[in-house]
Chain A
Amino acid sequence: MSDKLTVSMTINGHTYTADCEPRLTLADFIRHGCGLTGTHLGCEQGVCGACTIIVDGRTVRACLVLAVQADGSTITTVEGLARGDELNPLQEAFWANHGLQCGFCTPGMLMSATEFLKANPEPTAEEVRECLSGNLCRCTGYDSIVKSVLDAAQKLRA
C-alpha cells in the first residue's frame, strides 16, 4: 500500500485538508473527498471538459491533475460561482437562454466561459465557439450555449 500524503487546498473559499493516495485525481478529491459533485466526469481522459475547474486563476481539467499537485492552491468549482442562492450572471444567462439540457456539460462550460470572459469581455460568437470547442455537449448543438455566453458578456459589461 502506498503511503498517504496530506494535501490542503482552498476550494470555493473553504480549506480542505485530507490524507490521500498519491494517485488520487483532483477530480476524485473534489467529488468524493469534499463532496462537491458539481464537477462532472465524462471521460477521465481530458477530452470532454466536463470536469473543468479553475485552479489559481486558470482552467484545468480536474481529471488530469493529481490532488497532490494541487496542494496549496486556490480552486473555484461550479459550486463557487453563485453567492448563496444568488446565481452569477453567467449562470443566470445559461438558465435564461436554455444553455443546458441534461446539464452534465454545464459546470465545465461555465468554468471555461468564466475564464474566457475575464480575458475577453467583448467576444464575438466565433470567439465563444472557439473557446468552447474543448468542451463537449451532446444535447444542445451548442447554439444556446454560445448565446448564453454572449448574453452574460453583455450583462457583465453593463
Chain B
Amino acid sequence: MTVIGERVPRSDGQTKVSGEAIYGVDYAEPGMLWGALLRSPVSAGRITRLDTTAAAAMPGVHAVLTAADAPDVHAGWVLRDQRLFATDAVRYEGQPIAAVAADTLAQARAAAAAIVLEIEPLPAVVDLVRAMAPDSPLVHPGWESYVPAAGPDFPRRGNIAAECIADPPGVDEAFARAHRVISDEFVAQRQYQAYIEPKSAVGIFRDGRYTVHTAHQFPYNVRDRVSQFLDVRPSAVRVVGHTIGGGFGAKLDASLEPYAALLSKVVGGSAVKLVNTRTEDLLTCPCRENALTRLRSAVDADGNILARELEVIADNGAYSGEMPWLASIALHCARGVYRCGPTRVVSRLMYTNTAPTGAFRGVNGTYLYHAVERHMDHIATELGLDRRDYRLQQLITDGAEMPNGQVLADAGILREGFDAVESVAPWAELQAGRRPYRGIGIGAAWWVTNPMPGTAVVKLHEDGTVAVITAATDNGSGAVSMGVTQIVAERLGIPPTDVFVTMPDTDVAGFDAGSQGSRTTRIVGKASQLAADEVVEKLRGVAAGLLEAAADDLEVADGTVRVKGVPGNSIPIAEVAVAATNTVGPVQGTGSFVTPFPDFNPGCATGLMFPSFPTPTYHVHLAEVEIDPVTGNVRVLRYVVAQEVGRVISPDGTYGQVMGGVTQGIGYALHESLRIGEDGRYRERTLESYRLPLATDIPRVEFVPLEHPDPDGPFGAKGVAESPVLLPAAVIANAVSDAIGAPLNHIPIIPEDVLAAIQGSAGDVRSDEEVAP
C-alpha cells in the first residue's frame, strides 16, 4: 500500500494541538538571563553620545554591550555591509545600538531604556528615485570598502546596492517600428511576513563555542552569520532548531542570534535569551521590498510583443541581506509567460534609511507579475482583444527560450493550466454573468523550485522504526512532518508513524539550505529517499543470509524483507535490524541531493545572477471580485488556482500551501502595507494597524493540481509552497480594474483608491445603474 499522495496525519500534530510543542520563544535553560536591545529611534543620524554607565549599574544587570565590545568586522549574507551594533551612524529605525543582559526581562528592558543615547538626526534617504540622484546623500558613504561574502564583487555604486542589466540587441529598433507602444508604471508597498511567533534566540557560550537555540528556517545560515559577526570559524557555532511559529522568508537570515551569543560570552557562559516585542519584530523584519516597476512594450497590430523594456527599482533598506542576488529575478519575470521579442531589463536595488528588506515567499515575483499581468490586460484592452484570448494567443509553449537563454521543455503545461481554470470557472460564463461592480482577472506565471543542497541520514532502530537526521525545518508546511516522512515510509515499506525526523542541529546533521523556495519536499525528500535506498540495500544483504535467498530476489515491503513473489518467505524488518546490528553493525544510509541549474546564457545580463529557474513550475490564477461602491471595499468572491506540482505527495500539505499562499497574496493585494513616512519610519507599528487577512475575508480557493512528475524528484515531486502567493495581486488588480473600468496599478488596492477610480471613471463603469457621485 502506498502512502504517496495519501492523506496522512502530520507527525507534529499531536504536540501542536496539545500545547506541548516547544517553540523558539518557549525555549529556556536553567539559570538563563534575559537580554534586550537598545534600538535606534530614528532612521538616519549620527550618534553623538552613548553612555552605558548608569544602565550597567542597575539592579540585576550583568552586561551592557555596544559596538566597542563586538569584533571590528562587517558581516552579511551576500555583501558584508553590516556591523553588529551601529558605530557612529544609524541607518534605520530599530537598528541595534546596545545590548543588555539581566536577571529578568523587565530589568533588561529597563536598563536598555536607561542607556544615555543622543543622536544628531540627518535627513533620511527614502524615495527610491531621489536616492539615485547624484546629489542624494549616501546611506553608506563607505560603500566602496564593502566586500562580498563570497565570490567576485558585482555592479553597485553609491546608493545602488546592486544592479542587474540585460540589454539585448534589437530593442530600440523594435520600438521604432511598433504599431503601438504601451507603457505603464506600477507601485508596490512593503509587506510584513507577520508570522505569529515573534523572533527569539537563546545564546550559550560554553567550551569555547557558541550554541544558539532558535526557531529558524535556515539554521546553517544562522551559523554562518553568527560566525561572521563574532569573527569565529563556522564550526565554532552550533545552531539548534526548535518548532517554528511561521517564517515565510523572514527567518532565513540571522536576527537576534548573534546578540544572544555574544551576551552569553560576556556574562561568562550563562544562557541569554532575547525575544522581540511585536513592534520590534515588525520594525526590523526583512519584509518584502517596496518597488517601482515601469514596463513598455512595442506591439504590432495583432498584439504580438516585438520588444519590451522593464525597469524595476526596489528598496534594499539600509543593509543588504539576501537582496542583491534576488534583483536578477526581474530577468526571469520580465516577459511573464508570454512570447516577447528582445527584452531589456534594468533592475536596481537602492539603499535607503529604512529597515533592510529581504525574502518573503515569492521573492520579487509578486510585484513583477503584478506589473506584467496588469500590463498584459492593458495591451489587450488597448487593442480591443479579450484578455484571456490574448494571453492564450501569446502564451509560450514547449521549447520556449526565456530571456536568460533557459529553454522550457514543458512550458505547454501553461495551456493545460488555462484549460483547467476554464473547466472550473468558464470565462465566457463569468463574462455573461457580469453584474455592476463585479470584475474578473486572470494571469499566469512560471517559478523556480529552489535547487540548493540538502542531506539526510536514515538510521534504522532495532525495532524496525527509523530516524531521519536532517537539518531541514518544517516551517509548518508539512514538508517534513508529512512529505519527507511519507517518502521515507514509502521507500522502507513502513507506516509514516514509524518514521521520526529530528529537529535541526548543525552539530549533528549535514548542511541544509533551509526552508525556502519550496525546496524541502523535493531536495530533502530526495536526499532522504536516497538514504532510505541505502538502508534497503543493507537490509537485503543481511536478510539474504537469514532467508537463504539471493539479495537481488528480496524486496523490502509491508514492514518485512521478503522474497519477491513469495510473500510467505519473509522476516520483519526489526529482526533483520537486530541481526544486522550484531553481525555487520548498525544500519544507516546517507543521501545528498542538489538540483543543477539548467543551462543558461551567462552573457545575457550583467550583475549578480540567480542564473536560471531549476525545476520550473507553472501557474494560472483567476479571481472574481465585487466592489462596494460606497465604501470602496473589495471582496474576493471566487479564487481559482491551477498549479503544476510534479506529483502530489501530501494532498493536505499541497492544498494548505495553496490556500495559505493565496491568502497572503490577497492580503498583499488589498490591505497589507508597511507604509514608510518621509522620515523613513514605518507608519504601521503593530498588528492592529498592520491589517492581516481574517477568517471572514477569504473564500475557499478552488484548486486543480497539475501533475507532470519530475524524473529527478522524489516520486516525481516539484516545489509547491512558494508560488501560490505570486499571482493574487496580479489577478485581483486585473479584476478590480475590470470592475471599475479604470486601471489600478498600485498595491495594495485600498478603498480610497477604489473610490477615486470609481469617481474618475464614472462614465466607464460597467454599470446598469447611475453611479453615485
Contacts and interface: CB of A to CB of B under 8 A. Distances in A.
A128 B662 CA distance: 20
Q: How large is the interface on A (under 10, 10 to 19, 20 to 34, 35 or more residues)?
A: 35 or more
B694 interface: yes
A106 B106 CA distance: 28
Contacts, number: 167
Interface stretch (B193-201, B384-392, B462-470, B535-543): B193-201
Residue picked from A100, A105, A107, most chain B C-beta under 10 Å: A100
Interface string A95-113: 1101011111111001000
Contact of B694 (A103, A136, A143): A136
A140 interface: yes
Nearest to A101: B476
Given A101-B478, A101-B660, A141-B701, A136 B692 contact: yes
Contact of A144 (B22, B193, B277, B656): B656
Contacts of B193: 138
Contact of B695 (A36, A37, A87, A142): A142
A94 B17 contact: yes
Contact of A45 (B248, B278, B476, B700): B278
Contact of B21 (A43, A47, A103): A103
Contacts of A91: 17-18
B284 interface: no
A151 B538 CA distance: 44
B231 interface: no
A44 interface: yes
Contacts of A135: 695
Contacts of A114: none
A100 B688 contact: no
A103 to B, nearest CB: 3
Given A103-B17, A135-B695, A142-B695, A40 B245 contact: yes
A133 B691 CA distance: 12
Contact of B14 (A79, A95, A101, A137): A95
Nearest to B475: A102
Nearest to B17: A91
Interface string A62-102: 00000000000000011101100001000110111010111
Interface string A41-60: 11111011010000000000
Interface residues of B, number: 54
B656 A38 contact: no
Most chain B beta-carbon contacts within 10 A, residue among A21, A101, A141, A143:
A141
Interface string A13-52: 0000000010000000001000011111111110110100
B196 A138 contact: yes
Contacts of A92: 17
B597 to A, nearest CB: 30
B22 A103 contact: no
The residue among A42, A82, A102 with the most chain B CB atoms within 10 A of its own CB is A102
Nearest to A95: B13
B22 A37 contact: yes
B164 interface: no
Given A48-B196, A143-B659, A146-B695, A103 B16 contact: yes
Given A82-B18, A103-B21, A139 B687 contact: no
Q: Which of A21, A43, A130, A138 has the most CB of B within 10 A?
A: A138
B196 A136 contact: yes
A74 to B, nearest CB: 18
Which 9 pairs from chain A and chain B are nearest by CB? A38-B19, A102-B476, A104-B245, A103-B16, A101-B476, A141-B663, A78-B19, A141-B659, A95-B13
21 contacts: A40-B23, A40-B197, A44-B277, A45-B686, A47-B687, A95-B16, A100-B476, A101-B660, A102-B196, A102-B243, A106-B17, A130-B696, A132-B695, A138-B194, A138-B692, A140-B659, A141-B656, A141-B698, A141-B701, A143-B698, A144-B659
Interface of B: 9-10, 12-14, 16-23, 25-26, 106, 193-198, 243-246, 248, 277-278, 475-478, 652-653, 655-656, 659-664, 686-688, 692-696, 698, 700-701
Given A138-B664, A138-B692, 10 more contacts: A38-B21, A40-B25, A48-B687, A98-B652, A102-B243, A103-B243, A104-B195, A140-B663, A142-B695, A142-B698
Interface of A: 21, 31, 36-45, 47-48, 50, 77-79, 81-82, 87, 91-92, 94-96, 98, 100-107, 110, 128-130, 132-133, 135-146
